[in-house]
C-alpha cells in the first residue's frame, strides 16, 4: 500500500518532552516510594523511547518488562481489537505495576491491557501515557499520569509511527497530508 505524501509539523519539542518526563517520573517516584520493586511495563512498540527516558528518571528500584499489543497495524485508525502479540516475561502477582503507553486515543488499548494486567493480580497498578487525546475517547478510561493532552491530530515521533516510519524523531510532530486541500 502506497503512503500518501505528507509533511510533519513539530507539535511538542524534544526539550518540552524531556521536562515533562522528569515531572512524571518525580510524581511516580513519590507515589510508589513505599514499594520494594516497581515493575514498569512498556507497550511496544510506540512507548519504547518514552519508557527508556522515564525509567532513567524514576528514583526507585524497578524492573522493566514489555507487552506488545496491536490495534492499529499500519492504519491511521484503531481496529478497536486489542491483540497481545508478546506477553510479559515475569510474574506480577502481588507486585506494583506501572503500564507505560505512548498515546491514549480511543482508549481501547488501555482498557484491554488493563484487563489483561488485572487478571494477573498485581498489588496495584497505574498507567502512564505520554500523550492523551480525550476528544477521541470511546471508552471511559484515563491514564493516571499524562504527559501532554493533545487535540485530535495524527502524530508521529518519539517512538510513535505512521506505517512504521518516523519513530526516530526526537519530538512529537503532526502529520499533514500534502494532498489535502486546506482553506
pLDDT-derived band of residue 76, with 50, 70 and 90 as boundaries?
Answer: low
Q: Which three cell numbers stand for residue 49?
A: 523511547
Name the residue among 117, 114, 145 with its Cα closest to residue 132. Answer: 145
Q: So what's the pLDDT on residue 37?
A: 85
Q: What are the structural domain ranges in the chain?
A: 13-154
Bridge-based pairing of strands 38-44 and 96-104 is parallel
pLDDT band per the 50, 70, 90 thresholds, residue 70: confident
State the DSSP code for 122: -
Rounded Cα–Cα distance for residues 90 and 113 (Å):
16
What is the model's pLDDT at position 24? Answer: 98
Confidence band (pLDDT; 50, 70, 90) for 4?
Answer: confident
First to last CA, the chain: 28
Q: What is the CATH number of domain 13-154?
A: 3.40.50.2020
Q: Does 179 or 19 have the greater pLDDT score? A: 19
Cell of 5: 505524501
What cell numbers appear for 168 in the block? 526516530
Highest mean pLDDT among 47-56, 63-72, 75-84: 47-56
Note whether 68 and 45 are within 8 A (CB).
Answer: yes
Residue for grid cell 504527559:
147
| 36 classed as catalytic | no
The closest alpha carbon to 148, from 181, 180, 102, 96, belongs to 102
Distances (CA, A) of 136 to 103, 111, 166: 11, 14, 22
Q: What is the pLDDT of residue 82?
A: 80
| 151 pLDDT more than 70 | yes
- pLDDT tens readout for residues 98-132: 999 999 999 999 999 999 999 999 999 999 999 99
- pLDDT tens, position by position, 77-102: 555 678 889 999 989 999 999 999 99
SS (H, E, C) 39-88: EEEEEECCCHHHHHHHHHHCCCCEEEEEEEEECCCCCCCCCCCCEEEECC
Between these two residues, 6 and 57, which has the higher pLDDT value? 57
- Written as nine digits, the cell of 138 is 470511546
Question: Does residue 39 register a pLDDT over 90?
Answer: yes
- Which of 102, 105, 132, 161 is labelled catalytic? 105
pLDDT of residue 46: 92
pLDDT recorded at residue 63 = 96
Kindly state the cell numbers that stand for 102. 505512548
Going by C-beta distance under 8 Å and a sequence separation of 6 or more, which residues neighbour residue 89?
A: 65
Amino acid at each position: 500500500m502506497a503512503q500518501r505524501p505528507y509533511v510533519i509539523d513539530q507539535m511538542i519539542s524534544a526539550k518540552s518532552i524531556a521536562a515533562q518526563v522528569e515531572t512524571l517520573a518525580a510524581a511516580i517516584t513519590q507515589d510508589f516510594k513505599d514499594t520494594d520493586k516497581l515493575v514498569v511495563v512498556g507497550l511496544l512498540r510506540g512507548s519504547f523511547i518514552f519508557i527508556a527516558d522515564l525509567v532513567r528518571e524514576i528514583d526507585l528500584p524497578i524492573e522493566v518488562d514489555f507487552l506488545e499489543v496491536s490495534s492499529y497495524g499500519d492504519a491511521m485508525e484503531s481496529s478497536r481489537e486489542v491483540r497481545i502479540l508478546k506477553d510479559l516475561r515475569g510474574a506480577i502477582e502481588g507486585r506494583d505495576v506501572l503500564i507505560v503507553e505512548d498515546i491514549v486515543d480511543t482508549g481501547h488499548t488501555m482498557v484491554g491491557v488493563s484487563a489483561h494486567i488485572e487478571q494477573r493480580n498485581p498489588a496495584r497498578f497505574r498507567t502512564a501515557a505520554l500523550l492523551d487525546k480525550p476528544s477521541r475517547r470511546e471508552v471511559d478510561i484515563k491514564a493516571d499520569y499524562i504527559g501532554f493532552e493533545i487535540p485530535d491530530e495524527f502524530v508521529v515521533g518519539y517512538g510513535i509511527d505512521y506505517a512504521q516510519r518516523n519513530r526516530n524523531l526526537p519530538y512529537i510532530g503532526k502529520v499533514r497530508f500534502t494532498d489535502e486541500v486546506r482553506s
